[in-house]
Amino acid sequence: MTTTRRGPEQRRAAAGVARGRGVAMALLATLACQPRGSSTPPVVAAAPADHADPAAADPRVGSGEADAAEVAAVEEDAAPKPRERPKAEPVEGRDDALSAVLHGNPDGAIAALTPMLAAKPKDIELRLALARAQITVGALEQAQAVLEDKRGAPLDVAVVQLRVHVHRQRGQLREAEALLEEAVRKHADAPALLGDLVAVRVDTGRRADATTKKLIDRLYDAYDAGKVDDAASLLAVAIAALARGGKGGYHDANMVLEEAEAKTPVEAGSWVGDRVRLLRAAVFLEKYAADEAATTFELLLARDPWHPDALAGMAMVHIENLRFAPASRAAAEALMVDPKHPEAHAALARIALIEGRADEVASHTSGAALTIDPTHERSLAVLAALAIARADDKGYAATRDRVLARNPVDGFFFKDLSDILGFLHLYPEADEVLREGAALAPNDPYVQSALGLNLLRLGNETDGRAALERSWKGDPFNARTRNVLDLYENQLDKHYDVESAGGFTVRLPKQDREFVQPVLLEFATRSRKALDGFYHVDAGKLRLEFFASPDEFSVRTVGVPSLGAVAVCFGPLITFIGPYSGRVNLDLVMRHELAHVYAIRRSKGRVPRWFTEGLSEWESEQADPAWARESAALLTEARRLGKLRKLSELELAFIRAESPIMMEAAYATAAYAIRYLAATYGRDKLIAILDGYASGKQTPELFEQHLGKPLSTVEGEFETWFTGQLRSKLSGWSPANKAERSDPRLGLWQKAQQQVEANDHAEAVRTLETLVSRGGDGFATRMAIAQLLQQGKTPGAARRHLEAAQAFHTESIEPYVKLAELARTENDVAKEKAVLRGALAIDADSLDPAARLLMLALVTDDKDAVAYARTRAAGLAPLHPIVLAARALQLQAAGKAADAKAAVQRASKALGDAQGKGPVDTLVVVALAQAAVGDRDGAKQTAAQALAGKLPEPARKRLAAL
């Protein structure tokens, strides 16, 4: 997957605003507010377009560089540690004891209710309350004994329901069914018992048999006859409606559950009321309506902050939203109440597997959840996923058979298993599982939906859409199914085309396809040819899909909008946000995503995320060093605050990242890790490790086998190298370090800031020069001096300070921007081109310097620079008029006059849409292209517009000749 790079300095520099990290850049922020005179940085406006900005897909776009407080506060707030559960409080009196059951003090309630019930064994209210408290803390056997006690009323309807609940919690479905049948004979007109009987029969695979259908009809008839007027009976009707399924069944269930909720306010805390809300939340989760599920669970947690079922439910909500740290916290808190809560353990097992801690799966499943309920579906789904990940066919079959022994048509198991396999990026394996599930449960809409979405990820649209249509007929309320079908019907079928070209199948918007597709195919072909050679494997048929908006990309990719990425690789299919905004370098993204294809192919999809992301970053920088993701300033700050993960923990860096800032840190650290491994051991060793992952081996074993060292040794050696790398890229004194508040150098920095505010720039320069001489030399100091000098009478004096700043912060583009301004002011085109080339060597994502270099190279006949700048600009904005015009010149020179003329016409249209407000750099190149294709009148008009602005002399001469 590709996330948008941070790139804050690029965008700050393009805007001509010298801002930076917290206190460190405070002085520069002050300077930026001062009059700038005629010195402005080169700016190239983005092409007029209707396409959405990918900034919506990744909040890091345009964000400032993280300082200490930002890194610390965001991460700590986003992933708080589990709470400390209050100790049981003593309870006195019946009312307080009953209240304690409902408000998070079950242990206190048990201590008080036990002697009360012994004194009054026929008191049903006390018996139910005690059993409920015992159930809450996981004392199921004790609860069962209390409920079966013949001194009470073991066949009372409410008692039977709790007894059935205990049986179901323990996986004792036969016992539950026998008890219900006995109770129904005594209470023939008790809808609540009929509802529980329906639920047990559905859980054992008999949803469609005649007896179950009769029970459902009885409940519907009772409701229609007005015989259902209490919450327990309404809950039973809702269970029947969900068992009936389809649009009508879900609608009926939703309506009846609303009625039941109204009759049992959450504050009252009745057991039936809690069941109503838990069922409703579970249905929301099934429909991928995670926010609604969370709201429902939160109602219960507002009354009882330690409600274990609600906490376990919230864990699943967080997992659905890819928030694994809060999910772990919620599950851990549930276990503080009920140490063997199956759902909580299943959530933790799921997270452990996804995070690469497979050794912990057994302790949560076989060692905990399955000791309570040997048939627990979510736990068995995790065990099945682990077996598949390890290529253990026998283990998978044994686990599957355990599920099917209880329910031979259990679609939920296959759907849940496929979700886990999706997290593990095992999409072909998910396809096999879902086809198996569809064969057993062909009418299960959840299985059909999951099958359809997975088929789409594998590029099989015909079968995928057919499966989604089948799912929609059975369940028109599934959010993902609806979103994807709507996307195809309303957008893709109408406004997109799919074509096969150059060994790829490409989906693109119809509009402007002829200008965009050749550029993208050039990038894809070049990267594929290189990677084919490196990895000694044919990637096979590849499908590339580009979308005009982030939401369309997101729905096509995961079924819901707002995915925080710009591209995702599924193996044979890669989805992208299209190149319509000028903010994403598609040439870079193409190499990154295609590298994933080879990693997936060699590892059979079993490569850990840190390894494949780091490998893709490394492969990208092998193609172009400017594509290296380093983020030294961010990593240095995160390391100082103890926020960086070690090499052995890098998988957690991705999965537990709770902010865009720390996700960037994860990508950058992984890039450094693979950079080190490749430099130290070579590409062949990396490929051998990929092959090892394919066999189910884990990183520690593979490092020992192929690198000849234990992971701990490699980790230590990497840390030493990593520290040296960061120090080499970011050095010198900085006023940002809060630990140095008493430092006299900070006093000089603040004095200079005050002088700037008083408009005494000369004194500010002298103060900053004193700071340099007294150990305060660094990036911030030099940039401040340079900016002050550039605004003064001798701007050339800033050059040595800008060059010094480059050495202190090798990743910053700000000094290059200022040096380019100087060169432009001095009319030194050769120097400006050299500076721009230097800027592009460290910045892959800014259009402005590429566009400026492109214009200067064209007017000075610098063919090498033209090719370099044209490729870079095309990767960012193939529909920008300067790119189209440059492309037209290339096509005209190649004898493709018709294509060249079409490109010029599209460029001219873009300028017209901008109402003549395009920057002069663009106007120069468009004028040259118009002249080249024979549009003399257009060329003269565009040249006149450009000549009205400030141009370097070579550009002015070329335009004058037109």
Q: What's the 3-state SS for 1-64? A: CECCCCCHHHHHHHCCCCCCCHHHHHHHHHHHCCCCCCCCCCCCCCCCCCCCCHHHCCCCCCCC
**For position 564, what pLDDT does the model report?**
80
Average pLDDT over residues 923-929: 97
CB proximity list for 862: less than 8 A, separation 6 or greater? 833, 856
Identify which of 576, 516, 591 has the alpha carbon closest to the alpha carbon of residue 878.
Answer: 516
- Is residue 231 within 8 A of residue 270, CB to CB? The reply is yes
Q: How far apart are CA 709 and CA 699, in angstroms?
A: 12
Structural domain spans, the chain: 481-729, 745-960
Residue 58 has pLDDT above 70, yes or no: no
Q: Determine the straight-line distance between the first and last CA of the chain, rounded to whole angstroms.
A: 47
Sort 679 into a burial class: Cβ within 10 Å, 0-12 / 13-18 / 19+. Answer: exposed
120 backbone φψ class: left, alpha, beta (φ>0; ψ -120 to 50): beta
pTM of the model: 0.86
Q: How far apart are CA 363 and CA 352, in angstroms?
A: 10
pLDDT-based confidence at residue 196 (cuts at 50, 70, 90): very high
Q: How far apart are CA 530 and CA 624, in angstroms?
A: 13
Q: Which helix (H) or strand (E) holds 75?
A: helix 68-78
More confident position, 47 or 687: 687
**For position 517, what pLDDT does the model report?**
97
Beta bridge partners of 497: 508
Question: Do 481-729 and 745-960 share a fold?
Answer: no
For residue 231, the tally of other CB atoms under 10 A from its CB is: 23
Average pLDDT over residues 851-873: 97
Using DSSP, state whether 777 is helix, strand or coil: coil
**Residue 299 CA to its chain's centroid (Å):** 27
**What Rg, from alpha-carbon coordinates, does the chain have?**
33
**CATH superfamily, domain at 745-960:** Tetratricopeptide repeat domain (1.25.40.10)
Q: β-strands 496-501, 542-547: how paired?
A: unpaired
The crossing angle, in degrees rounded to 10, of helices 779-790 and 761-771 is 150
Q: How far apart are CA 811 and CA 729, in angstroms?
A: 7
**For position 32, what pLDDT does the model report?**
34
3-state helix, strand, coil in the chain (%, to 5): 70, 5, 25
Q: How far apart are CA 364 and CA 718, in angstroms?
A: 33
Average pLDDT over residues 450-456: 97
Q: Out of 33-47, 75-89, 388-402, 852-866, which region has the weakest mean confidence (pLDDT)?
A: 33-47
Three-state SS for 734-774 is: CCCCHHHCCCHHHHHHHHHHHHHHCCCHHHHHHHHHHHHHH
Q: How far apart are CA 913 and CA 881, in angstroms?
A: 11
CA atoms within 13 A on the CB side of 217: 7
- Is residue 922 within 8 A of residue 911, CB to CB? The reply is yes
Residue 935 has pLDDT above 60, yes or no: yes
Q: Out of 555-559, 627-631, 685-689, which region has the weakest mean confidence (pLDDT)?
A: 627-631
Q: β-strands 542-547, 504-509: how paired?
A: parallel
Identify which of 784, 866, 800 has the alpha carbon closest to the alpha carbon of residue 833.
Answer: 866
Identify which of 670, 659, 664, 571 has the alpha carbon closest to the alpha carbon of residue 621.
Answer: 670
Question: DSSP characters for 453-506?
Answer: HHHHHTT-HHHHHHHHHHHHHH-TT-HHHHHHHHHIIIIIHHHEEEEEETTEEE
512 backbone φψ class: left, alpha, beta (φ>0; ψ -120 to 50): left
What mean pLDDT is reported for the chain? 90
Write out pLDDT tens, residues 493-507.
Answer: 999 999 999 889 999
Annotate 255-294 with b (16+ C-beta within 10 A) or e (fewer): ebbebbbebbebeebbbbbbbbbbbbbbbbbbbbbbebbb
Average pLDDT over residues 887-916: 90
Determine phi and psi for 508, rounding to 5 degrees: -145, 155
Domain 481-729 has CATH 3.40.30.160: yes
Determine phi and psi for 504, rounding to 5 degrees: -125, 155
The crossing angle, in degrees rounded to 10, of helices 94-102 and 106-119 is 140
Determine phi and psi for 18, rounding to 5 degrees: -90, 85
Q: Both tokens of residue 841?
A: 């060597």
**For position 740, what pLDDT does the model report?**
60
Average pLDDT over residues 93-103: 97
Average pLDDT over residues 99-109: 97
Q: How far apart are CA 527 and CA 512, in angstroms?
A: 23
Write out pLDDT tens, residues 765-819.
Answer: 999 999 999 999 999 999 999 999 999 999 999 999 999 999 999 999 999 999 9
Write out pLDDT tens, residues 385-405.
Answer: 999 999 999 999 999 999 999
**For position 48, what pLDDT does the model report?**
25
Amino acid at 277: R
More confident position, 220 or 80: 220
**For position 737, what pLDDT does the model report?**
61
pLDDT-based confidence at residue 15 (cuts at 50, 70, 90): very low
Q: How far apart are CA 784 and CA 792, in angstroms?
A: 13
CB proximity list for 599: less than 8 A, separation 6 or greater? 607, 611, 612, 615, 616, 690
Q: How far is CA 745 from CA 734, 756, 767, 781, 920, in A?
A: 9, 17, 10, 11, 44
Q: How far apart are CA 260 and CA 256, in angstroms?
A: 6
Q: How far apart are CA 392 and CA 386, in angstroms?
A: 8
**For position 71, what pLDDT does the model report?**
56
Using DSSP, state whether 585 is helix, strand or coil: coil
Identify which of 567, 620, 569 has the alpha carbon closest to the alpha carbon of residue 592.
Answer: 620
- Is residue 676 within 8 A of residue 620, CB to CB? The reply is no
